[in-house]
Each structure stands twice: as C-alpha cells, then as structure tokens.
C-alpha cells in the first residue's frame, strides 16, 4: 500500500468497503479480449470506500478526507492529451484490494441516502445502461425493449427506463426473472424460451407497431437479429451486450 506521504498531487488513497465484479474483469483474467491487460494487474472498477489520504499540494480538490466516494472504470483523464481525446485505454490497478490509489478529480461522491453496496454496481452497470437509454432517442411514454432484462445490466435498465417515463417490455426467461422485472416496474414480459414467435409477441405487447428502441444487454447474437425485426420504423437499436464473434 502506498503511504500518504507517497501520494502525488491530485491523488487520493481510498479504503475500500465494497466492490462489484464486472464480467470484463473475467475477460481481463482470461486475456480473451483484443487488448490484453498488463500483468500483474488488480481488477475491479466498481469500488466504494472512504478517502483516508490526499496527496500534498493537491489544488482545489472537490473531495475531502473522510468523504465516501466511488471508483469507476475510468481512473483518470487530463481531457486534453491525444490519448485522452482518442479514448485509448490504460491499465490501472483497481478495487479488488483493501486500499486503492485514485484521483480526486475522478472519484464520485456517494450521496448519503445511497448505501455503499447498492452504489457499487451503479458505477459500471448503472452508468452503462443509463447512457444507453439516454442515446436511445426515446421520449416519455415510448416503449423500450430490454433483452436480458433480468440480468445485472438489464435489471438496472428497467429501473432507469421507468424513472425516465418509458414503458418497458422485458425480455428474458424463467419465473424468477419475470418476478424480478415485474417487481421493478416492467410493463410487459416476453419469455424468449417459451415464446413461439418472439418478434410477434414483442410487437403485440407494444401495441402492434413494435418498441421505439431496444437496448440489448444480453450477450447473444439473436438479441440483435430479433431487435432489427421487431423495432418500429425509425426505431433505435442500442448495443450494450457483446456476443461472441
């Protein structure tokens, strides 16, 4: 663990209390993505903890000692160099540890009303699905289809969509996932395993025309091919899940 005296200006030391596990951590462990991780590498990018030290000579820090903050997938960015502007990824040790060095300008203060365990998953899956819905070209009362609605990404997408005033047709399988998504406010449910014609069922559930958007959180090719068929004319398909090539 780097000591407080070793922190550079702009850095902070966070004592982690909760961290989520993202499927991308498994990809990093397996080295099965095009950009291999550096080794050794500590994974994790959904961490919540308390700031216990801030580097000397840190100017205008937006956070203070004792603040509860979240650490996301983006460790730091100067927002001006070529690498930052082009979105090139760097590898930085993450939140699968007791203490993490992070950056005062990129940690996220956690509101008091939000518990740390609940905040952890929002730092990756939550912001991912929130952004997906923001770019879905939908408006209040539109229908949005959510393939994979009962999964880690999908169940958060259901909640965001309802908070945005959208109507949700949840697509997944099994009684447990049906119960979950309905409890979160999904307006309609289609089980992809028991449906005899999933495209027709989704169109029927959304009034016949099909949904205005589909946010595909399922890592399955059919989630995409089916969405192209059931979306209404000029509908928007947002890709989130990454199926095998």
**Residue 190, in any domain of the structure:** yes
Stated pTM of the model: 0.86
Residue 127, domain member (yes or no): no
Average pLDDT, the chain: 92
More confident position, 14 or 36: 14
Q: Residue count of the chain, please give it.
A: 245
Axis-axis angle for helices 221-230, 198-205 (nearest 10): 50
Taking the C-alpha atoms of residue 27 and residue 24, their distance in angstroms, rounded to an integer, is 5
> Above 80 in pLDDT, residue 37?
no
Total domain count, the chain: 2
Residues 172-189 pLDDT 10s? 999 999 999 999 999 999
* 146 in the same domain as 113: no
Residue 35 — pLDDT band, cuts 50, 70, 90?
A: low
Note whether 99 and 145 are same-domain residues: no
Q: Residue range 210-225: average pLDDT?
A: 95
CA–CA distance, 31 with 24 (Å, rounded to integer)? 10
**What per-residue confidence (pLDDT) applies to 28?**
79
- For residue 243, the model assigns a pLDDT of 80
What percent of the chain shows pLDDT beyond 90? 77
Are 40 and 86 in a shared domain? yes
| Max CA separation in the chain (angstroms) | 65
Confidence (pLDDT) at 99 = 96
Residue 29 included in any domain: yes
CATH of the domain at 189: 3.40.50.720
Asked whether residue 64 is domain-assigned, the answer is yes
115 falls within a domain: yes
Q: How far apart are CA 196 and CA 150, in angstroms?
A: 20
Mean pLDDT computed over 205-232:
96
Print the domain residue range for 24: 4-120
Q: Which residue has the higher pLDDT, 90 or 238?
A: 238
Q: Name the residue among 120, 33, 113, 24 with its Cα closest to residue 70.
A: 120
Q: Is residue 125 part of a domain?
A: no
Nearest CA among 244, 145, 160 for reference residue 202:
145
| Residue 129 placed within a domain | no
**Residue where a domain stops, chosen among 85, 120, 155:** 120
Residues 9 and 115 in one domain: yes
Is residue 103 a part of any domain in this protein?
Answer: yes
Residue 38 has pLDDT above 80, yes or no: no
Domain termination residue (choose one: 120, 144, 176): 120
- Residue 222 and residue 186 share a domain: yes
Summarize pLDDT for 61-72 with one digit per residue, the tens.
999 999 999 999
Q: Note the pLDDT tens digit of each residue in 120-173.
A: 989 999 999 999 999 999 999 999 999 999 999 999 999 999 999 999 999 999
Regarding whether 142 and 107 lie in a shared domain, the answer is no
Based on the domain organization, do 105 and 139 belong to the same domain?
no
Q: Convert 82-113 to b/e letters by CB count within 10 Å (16 or more is b).
A: eeeeeeeeeebbbbbbeebbbbbbbbbebeee
pLDDT band at 245 (very low <50, low <70, confident <90, very high): low
Q: Is residue 55 pLDDT above 70, yes or no?
A: yes
């Amino acid at each position: 663990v780097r000591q407080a005296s070793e922190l550079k200006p702009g850095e902070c030391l966070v004592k982690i209390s909760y961290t989520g596990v993202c499927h991308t951590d498994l990809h990093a462990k397996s080295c099965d993505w095009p950009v291999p991780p550096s080794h050794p590498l500590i994974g994790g990018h959904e961490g919540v903890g308390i700031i216990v030290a801030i580097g000397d000579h840190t100017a205008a820090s937006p956070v203070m000692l004792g603040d509860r903050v979240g650490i996301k997938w983006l460790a730091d960015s100067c927002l001006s160099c070529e690498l930052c502007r082009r979105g090139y990824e760097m590898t930085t040790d993450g939140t699968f540890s007791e203490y993490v060095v992070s950056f005062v300008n990129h940690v996220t203060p956690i509101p008091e009303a939000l518990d740390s365990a609940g905040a952890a998953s929002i730092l990756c899956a939550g912001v991912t699905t929130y952004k997906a819905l923001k770019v879905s070209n939908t408006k209040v009362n539109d229908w949005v289809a959510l393939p994979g609605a009962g999964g880690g990404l999908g169940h958060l997408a259901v909640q965001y969509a309802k908070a945005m005033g959208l109507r949700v047709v949840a697509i997944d399988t099994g009684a447990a996932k049906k119960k979950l998504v309905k409890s979160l406010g999904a307006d309609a449910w289609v089980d992809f395993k028991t449906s005899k014609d999933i495209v027709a069922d989704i169109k029927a559930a959304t009034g016949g025309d099909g949904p205005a958007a589909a946010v595909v959180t399922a890592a399955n090719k059919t989630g995409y091919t089916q969405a192209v068929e059931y979306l209404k004319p000029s509908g928007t398909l947002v890709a989130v899940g990454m199926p095998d090539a």
